[in-house]
Amino acid sequence: MTGLHHRSLGEGHMGNINISGLIVVIGTPGSGKTRVAKLIAESLGCRYLNVGELSLEKGYVLGRDEERGSYIIDEERVREELSRIEDTIVVETISPYAIPQDKVSLVIVVRCRPSILLERLRGRGYSKSKIRENLEYEAIDGPLFDAMQIADVDKIVEIDGCEGNDEEIYDALRGIKKGVGRFNWSQDFLSILEEI
């Protein structure tokens, strides 16, 4: 994220939205969540926290899902930990149930076109079944549904995480407007079904 250190979204503001508390960044694996979350944290001058990394670091793990090749986090313990945070912080997660709803000021749903997501997940070495599961999740608006589990629609914003350089993402965040329903990837998903 070079070249953005001098840029700021403005303390306590992102576009036309006042923020404090948890800024949650959620999306399908490979959608660009980490990039967007770190860019927001850097721009606002606040801390970035990844729920998966926190869970491993603190031992908030209940077990391992061998089929999916992922850990099962203790969402209750993570939620308790996040509830104690008083500062503005950017939290990256794929699990909305680990987030204390009363602390959420904004949820940014990072979306990605399934055809681009397919290549990203292949690049990560995901199994065919895991790729298909994640592409279906994106195509049926799974990330948006998850966001609605922790925040009202007026606190949710969708952005495209699969296009643009850091500067373009930054500009999109500065001009951010509340709202959902901007993305419909169903046709793109259907066009790549045979590739999965």
Which residues are known binding-site members for ATP? Answer: 30, 32-34, 124
Q: Among 72, 96, 79, which Cα is nearest to 146's?
A: 96
**Residue 16 amino acid letter:** N
Residues in a beta bridge with 157: 108, 179
- Which residues carry a binding-site annotation? 30, 32-34, 124
CA–CA–CA angle 66, 70, 76 (5° rounding)? 115
How many angstroms separate the CA atoms of 164 and 168, rounded?
5
Tell me the backbone φ, ψ of residue 176, rounded to 5 degrees: -60, 140
- Partners of 63 in beta bridges: 72
Q: In what order do the strands lie in the sheet with 89-93?
A: 47-50, 89-93, 22-27, 104-111, 156-160
Closest listed residue to residue 132, CA positions, set 140, 182, 66: 140
The terminus-to-terminus CA distance of the chain in angstroms comes to 32
